[in-house]
Amino acid sequence: MDAPFRGGNGVPAITPPDAHAPRVLPAVPAPEDLRALRSALGAFATGVTVITAFEDRLPVGITVNSFASVSLDPPLVLWSVANTATCAEVFRVGTAFCVHVLAAGQDGLAMNFARSGGDKFGGLSWEHGDWGAPLLPGCTAEFHCEVDARYPGGDHTIILGKVLAHVVRETPPLLFHRGHFREF
Ligand SMILES: Cc1cc2nc3c(=O)[nH]c(=O)nc-3n(C[C@H](O)[C@H](O)[C@H](O)COP(=O)(O)O)c2cc1C
């Protein structure tokens, strides 16, 4: 058996904290609990998307990694939007939107659309697209959707989208893990 951990100068033995012990969330989590949860969730590696739509004919977009497939038949996808995001109310039932799955090297585009509010399309080349949502070039896949339903999800709203059309290319994807953009 290992000798008990001892501090210097005869300080009594201390049990070192076990970094791998379950961290139980209290009913009312403190900010440090939420930071630890966010950090643990960052262990889940994801792709990165930019989701676009029109609001009063102006293009809006947001960087999102909560995107996931839901159903093939009918074809459904989901993502969640923070209720504090300026674009949260744009995605009403029936609204057209485009999920751009970003390609390796598009981390600058991801950061551009991770800014809150303002004109995120200035200086970018984009098109109106054929499916009712702004289209950004160079991504590895596009899912052209319309909002099928919205569900409350705590401090986020879950957007369920019906896929109307999709495009896929051979370019490798951009990844996100533990707060950093990565590539294969
Ligand atoms: C990699 C990455 C993934 C993100 N995923 C989401 C997400 O799934 N949902 C969300 O609401 N915000 C997400 N964000 C944060 C938004 O992009 C950010 O809050 C943005 O400023 C919101 O824009 P808006 O306030 O103009 O609507 C993500 C940011 C990054 C960098």
The pLDDT score that the predictor gives to residue 2 is 45
The pLDDT score that the predictor gives to residue 18 is 76
Nearest CA to ligand 1 atom 24: 116
Tell whether ligand 1 has an atom less than 6 A from the beta carbon of residue 140. no
Calculate how far, in angstroms, residue 108's C-alpha sits from the geometric centre of ligand 1. Answer: 14
Tell whether ligand 1 has an atom less than 6 A from the beta carbon of residue 176. yes
Which atom of ligand 1 is found nearest the CA of 79?
8
Best of 63, 65, 66 for a ligand 1 pocket test (most atoms within 8 Å of beta carbon) = 63
Could you tell me the domains of the chain?
Answer: 46-177 (2.30.110.10)
Predicted confidence pLDDT, tens digits, the chain (184 residues) = 444 455 556 666 666 667 788 999 999 999 999 999 999 999 999 999 999 999 999 999 999 999 999 999 999 999 999 999 999 999 999 999 999 999 999 999 999 999 999 999 999 999 999 999 999 999 999 999 999 999 999 999 999 999 999 999 999 999 999 999 999 9
Asked, as a colleague might, if the bond just before 74 is cis with ω within 30 of 0, I would say yes
Closest CA to 108 of 21, 181, 171, 5: 181
